[in-house]
Amino acid sequence: MKALLILFVLMNLDKLLKTGRCTETQDQILSITPKTQEQVDILKNVSTQYETALWQPVSPQYIKEETEVHLYVPANSSEIVKDLLQKHAITHGVLLANANELIEMQTRNGSTDPRSSSTFYERYHSLDDIYHWINRTQQENPNMVKTILIGSSYEKRPLYVLKLSINNRPNKKAMWIDCGIHAREWISPAFCLWFVQNSLSFYKLNQDITRILDNMDVYILPVMNPDGYHYTWTTNRMWRKNRSVSKSSNCIGVDLNRNFDANWCTEGASDEPCTEIYCGAFPESEPESQAVANFLRSHKDSVQFYLSIHSYSQMLLFPYSCTLDEAENHKDLLEMAQEAAQAIRRYYRNTYKYGSGAKTIYLAPGGSDDWAYNLGIKYSFTFELQDRGRYGFLLPPSLISRACNEALIAVKTIALKVIEKTKASASHP
């Protein structure tokens, strides 16, 4: 027993020494639950004054007592941040001690690692890889896939939408999915790729996919914020906004999910360019949100189901997020989200919360889902995929398939409901 203890101490000696000296070599994610108003204020300061990135909540203004905060702390700020916490008797847990390793794991490409057995869709991909994939997917499936250029980003990268279309029935309806509004939510573009792959491979094999594609065209925008996404691959993994330069400030980027014209820049958004929830200079000031809005405006008669994919926190949200008011078809939306959450529970034993955005997370005006809803797309949703904070934005590649499959079953459940409901209303107007 004694020998074992000594062995254990020896094996962990370097770790003990390191933690004793408080010099972290790795970026970390801390979990901190403030207990008093004073602690709340200290945390707000820490997250704004030091080189850290707030993971949860999205902005320091939402930090409150007894609510868990997830804070990304780079190695070089670790000592000062931890000292500050200690000085004010704020306890913290370490959610992830090895963020750099996880980032490395996410950017390593399977092709450079011969032992990897994961497929293309079980890995994360750089923006260039995604552009190549778009090209290849269209070329390999000329009868089912078209690419549509809907605009370009602030830094002039193309915004391509894939249109999956099986037949040309008159008055065919459509659904829309966008991914990657927020740059650091890498599971989101991964889902769009997964969805396309699954649809193309299982048409005529899977009954649900077949029914969906027989009844609807599907528009997929795999990366709405290519500049931000590229930046997370090259420079700052924690970047959220786009990369537009502000006239009034040195801070860069607009939160594209605060830039749509739905109670734009009211409570839950900020007109301060240095915040993560900056709403931009005016509604649709950003080329990315404008491109999406223009496309949907010109397709609003066919598009009946709008879906935007985010992470993390495992939620199926619907309008409104920009007001506490209930949507006119709240009951329908609630029922659909509930059914989708039940399907995830049944097939994957995982829990998703559901409800209107404002009541389930927080007021967040200027979102694409509320805007699409007000445009007349009555079935409008935002999904927050895995996880609930274990890995947060650094979800390892090995968890991509679970995360995407459970989201896929939710999408299918809702799409089938939309088809059913719109058929019923077409036959008894």
Compute the distance between CA of residue 296 and CA of residue 212 in angstroms, rounded to an integer. Answer: 20
Contacts of ligand ARG in 237-276 (CB under 6 A): 257
> By C-beta, is 70 or 310 nearer to ligand ARG?
310
Given a contact cutoff of 8 angstroms between Cβ atoms, the answer to whether 179 and 135 are in contact is: no
Answer yes or no whether residue 370 interacts with ligand ARG by CB under 6 A: yes
Piece in contact with ligand ARG (CB under 6 A), picked from 13-21, 212-220, 344-352, 365-373: 365-373
Piece in contact with Zn ion (CB under 5 A), picked from 23-31, 126-134, 179-187, 389-397: 179-187
321 binds, among Zn ion, ligand ARG, none (CB under 5 to 8 A by kind): ligand ARG
Beta bridge mates, 355 = 317
370 binds, among Zn ion, ligand ARG, none (CB under 5 to 8 A by kind): ligand ARG
Residue nearest to ligand ARG (CB): 367
- For the bound state, the minimum distance from the C-beta of residue 82 to Zn ion, rounded and expressed in Å, comes to 28
382 binds, among ligand ARG, Zn ion, none (CB under 5 to 8 A by kind): ligand ARG
User: 32, 42, 46, 58: which one contacts ligand ARG (CB under 6 A)?
Assistant: 58
Tell me the three state secondary structure of residue 152.
strand
Answer yes or no whether residue 382 interacts with ligand ARG by CB under 6 A: yes
Q: Which of 24, 284, 286, 384 is catalytic?
A: 384
- For the bound state, the minimum distance from the C-beta of residue 344 to Zn ion, rounded and expressed in Å, comes to 19
> By C-beta, is 182 or 241 nearer to Zn ion?
182
Given a contact cutoff of 8 angstroms between Cβ atoms, the answer to whether 221 and 296 are in contact is: no
Q: Please indicate whether residue 326 is annotated as part of the active site.
A: no
Answer yes or no whether residue 241 interacts with Zn ion by CB under 5 A: no
- For the bound state, the minimum distance from the C-beta of residue 298 to Zn ion, rounded and expressed in Å, comes to 25
> By C-beta, is 217 or 370 nearer to ligand ARG?
370
367 binds, among ligand ARG, Zn ion, none (CB under 5 to 8 A by kind): ligand ARG
Instruction: Give the residue carrying structure tokens 């099986």.
Output: 166
Listed residue (30, 25, 99) closest to 393, CA to CA: 99
Piece in contact with Zn ion (CB under 5 A), picked from 18-26, 174-182, 222-230, 332-340: 174-182
- Characterize 412-428 residue by residue with b for buried, 16 or more Cβ atoms within 10 angstroms of its Cβ, and e for exposed: bbbbbbbbebbeeeeee
- For the bound state, the minimum distance from the C-beta of residue 317 to ligand ARG, rounded and expressed in Å, comes to 5
Answer yes or no whether residue 378 interacts with Zn ion by CB under 5 A: no
Answer yes or no whether residue 357 interacts with ligand ARG by CB under 6 A: yes
**Window 287-326: contact mask with Zn ion (x via CB under 5 A):** -----------------------x----------------
Tell me the three state secondary structure of residue 71.
strand
> By C-beta, is 56 or 78 nearer to ligand ARG?
56
> By C-beta, is 133 or 260 nearer to ligand ARG?
260
* Sign of the dihedral through C-alpha 127, 129, 134, 135: positive
Tokens of 176: 């829309």
The string of DSSP letters for 269-335 reads BBS-TTSTTB--SSTT-SHHHHHHHHHHHHTTTTEEEEEEEEESS-EEEES-SSSSSPPTTHHHHHH
Q: Please state whether beta strands 216-221 and 173-179 pair in parallel, antiparallel, or not at all (unpaired).
A: parallel
User: 123, 173, 182, 184: which one contacts Zn ion (CB under 5 A)?
Assistant: 182
What string of H, E and C letters represents the secondary structure of 347-408? HHCCCCEEEEHHHHCCCCCCCHHHHHHHHCCCEEEEEEECCCCCCHHHCCHHHHHHHHHHHH
Residue type, 98: N
Answer yes or no whether residue 369 interacts with ligand ARG by CB under 6 A: yes
Listed residue (306, 304, 137, 337) closest to 216, CA to CA: 304
Listed residue (264, 270, 113, 253) closest to 184, CA to CA: 253
DSSP secondary structure code for residue 244 in this structure: P
Longest dimension (CA), the chain: 81
> By C-beta, is 63 or 419 nearer to ligand ARG?
63
Q: In sequence order, what are the residues at sequence separation of 6 or more whose Cβ sits closer than 8 angstroms to the Cβ of residue 53?
A: 71, 72, 238
Piece in contact with ligand ARG (CB under 6 A), picked from 32-40, 42-50, 166-174, 367-375: 367-375
Tokens of 383: 């999904």
Instruction: Give the residue carrying structure tokens 């990315």.
Output: 288
User: What residues line the site for ligand ARG (CB under 6 A)?
Assistant: 58, 257, 310, 317, 321, 357, 364, 367, 369-370, 382
Residues serving a catalytic function are: 384
Interface residue list for Zn ion (CB under 5 A): 182, 310
